[in-house]
Amino acid sequence: MPSCKLLMNPMRTAKQGVQVNVGKFTDDYEAIVTALSMHESDMQTLGVVDGDKVRVRTEHGHADFVCEKAKVPEGMIFVPYGPPTCQLMGGDTGGTGMPTSKGWEVEVEPLDE
């Protein structure tokens, strides 16, 4: 199964900001925080299309996301902050009080459903 190393950047979206106030245990919120934006060529490398599931791994854990093609730089993936990204985040703050929450080197592999 092909896998590739990409740079992951969790971020915020306006839709997520609205949905937080509606409820975090809704299907809409779940869909928002598991939507992973990826460059078309990276999707081809992985052999996935829009709507396919992928597993993202860091040295701290793994989480599953749903791929969507987006206008993002090649080699980088973007996903809204949420419970799945908590699984990937390390606890080391380097003495700053906050863990590094962007620019993670991750391994992405397609999931067979």
Partner 1 sequence: MGGKVTCTLGEIKNRADFIIYWGGNPAECHPRHFTKYTLMQKSKFLPRGRKDRTMVLVDIRETKSVRAADIFLQVRPGKDFELLTILRALIKGQKVADEQIETTGLTRETLEDLVLRMKSAKFGAMFFGMGLSMTRGKHMNSAALLTLAAEMNAFTKFVAMPMRGHGNVTGADVVMRWQTGYPFGITYNRGYPRYNPGEFSTVDLLVRGDTDCAFIIGADPGATMPRPAIDHLARIPTIVLDPHVTHTSRLAKVHITTAPAGIAAPGTGYRMDEIPLPLRPAISSPYPSDEEVVRRINAAIDEHPDWRHAQPQMLTNQL
**Range in contact with partner 1 (rule: CB under 8 A) among 16-24, 40-48, 49-57:** 16-24
C-beta of 47 vs 83, nearer to partner 1: 83
Q: Can you point out the beta strands (E) in 15-112? A: 35-38, 53-57, 62-69, 76-80, 104-110
Q: Select the residue interacting with partner 1 from 31, 47, 49, 102 (CB under 8 A).
A: 102
Rounded (10°) CA dihedral 60, 63, 67, 71: -30
Q: Select the residue interacting with partner 1 from 60, 66, 109, 111 (CB under 8 A).
A: 60
The CA–CA distances, whole Å, from 107 to 22, 28, 62, 75, 102 equal 32, 26, 9, 11, 15
Counting residues that bind partner 1 (by CB under 8 A) gives 37
Q: Select the residue interacting with partner 1 from 9, 52, 53, 55 (CB under 8 A).
A: 9
Residues of the shown chain interacting with partner 1 in the complex, contacts defined by CB under 8 A: 7, 9, 11-14, 17, 23-25, 60-61, 71-73, 76, 78, 81-83, 86-87, 89-103
